[in-house]
Chain A
């Protein structure tokens, strides 16, 4: 299909402003300045764009809340803290097409009447940092950022804030704390950042991919845009496919494409033609699914019906050689390491689930461990401060729901079902 977000990334100089302008870049910006800010918000609303960070909140609605708040200044923050295992969809935009993001941010800022923007970049993306810094400098020079953007009189300043490697700072309120110079810990909601965000002012936090969609909506118009993919949540979507496939990578495909098509047509099928055992459809914090959901359309509407979520669109494919206890344990190690320590269930619970999984994996599992694990996960579910703990519990529950026999095998036979063939 036609690529919109990753249009020119195959060109060797795709990150430069020259190449971007040559392929029609910053045209949407000029078009946007001809529109009223409220009209842009209405357009985004009409396009049905939903946040690409994982929760899938309608972007237009978020903007509407923020623009209705009478407080000024307003802040626009791009969430580029892409820290979830399996997710690397924003990276091509950041490294290969940064001007698309900048253009999207300027249009968004204009719509929101914000004069200050930040890109909160993941700490482990040093290359992206260099590319972004260069792109921002180019944009300032070309007059697309600064005191008088593209001669419209609109002021917008943008800078990159690099995190220090904490996954929790991908949560918007923790991200704001981090930008403010504090310890990155989620804040109490309500009030939501759209009303009380950075330095107490209305703040919109959007994912990289979401913001990259904005120029598209402005240039195509909401009508044409919403024809892409599933009409309920339209638009192009970046899928980062990894693990046991022939061709792992980022694929730009329309929203609502069936999982089977992603794995077998675009990613070249399961590695070595082996049998597909499990799929995690949206990054490690979404529950695992069995192969019988292969025909489920990948979008925000259909996946929850099958007991999982689209999340960030990071498809992780496991074939029959992979030990899922190990995968679950590894995921839990990640959550334990990344738990911020604010609320009890997540701080202590993730560590304990990791501990139990570790002894299962190591062949020291006991009778009743599965029930214990389930009990802890259920006790954590819905009782933590932010979605990180819910995610951790959801992963465990997902694995136990679909693959409990494999866990059982680990306990009774002290070895792995997959590895023992």
Chain B
């Protein structure tokens, strides 16, 4: 140990240097976001909490219960329950997502032929119970109303279907009970 080292130790030079840096930082702008007070807006395509798209015409979910989302889901967290309605139409009785099992791959959104399921920009849904993170059809529709306002729609459309507002089937391609889309020689 040289004399220089001894002096450094006696006068705590290292600590003073370090504290000087600390002190100097008190007067600079912080680089981190102060999260709970300051929230970061989601970028387009951000995969937040799930929602079922509400069909403005009927007020019910756009979902027809084809189950492609459940088929494609890698973590098998989607369940769709359908039955026959009074007019022999297909009725979606239940649509369940176990959010805790979801890996947010958004394959369900990609698979949906009707654009009926969306991942909202909302990400603050942490909770202490499993139940709170078990999404039923009603809660998923509620999510849509709540987190997909005008802002949310823009976010959704600009990423998932930038050209068209909705995934409409090509003209003349699909026909459902009682309603014919398309007609003579398309």
Contacts and interface: CB of A to CB of B under 8 A. Distances in A.
Interface residues of B, number: 1
Nearest to A359: B185
A9 B156 CA distance: 84
Contacts of B185: 355, 359, 364
Give chain A's interface secondary structure class. Answer: helix
B72 to A, nearest CB: 32
Contacts of A355: 185
A355 B172 CA distance: 15
A364 B185 CA distance: 10
Nearest to A358: B185
Interface in A353-381: 355, 359, 364
A142 B21 CA distance: 133
A359 B186 CA distance: 11
A355 B185 CA distance: 8
Contacts of A364: 185
A302 B57 CA distance: 68
A270 to B, nearest CB: 36
Interface in B165-186: 185
A388 B185 CA distance: 25
A205 B69 CA distance: 59
A279 B92 CA distance: 62
Interface string B72-90: 0000000000000000000
A104 B38 CA distance: 104
Interface string A325-357: 000000000000000000000000000000100
B18 to A, nearest CB: 78
A88 B185 CA distance: 36
Interface string B135-156: 0000000000000000000000
B149 to A, nearest CB: 44
Nearest to A356: B185
A305 B24 CA distance: 103
A360 to B, nearest CB: 11
Interface string A20-54: 00000000000000000000000000000000000
A366 to B, nearest CB: 10
Nearest to A366: B185
A364 B186 CA distance: 11
3 contacts: A355-B185, A359-B185, A364-B185
Interface of B: 185
* For the complex of A and B, 3 pairs with smallest distance between CB atoms: A359-B185, A355-B185, A364-B185
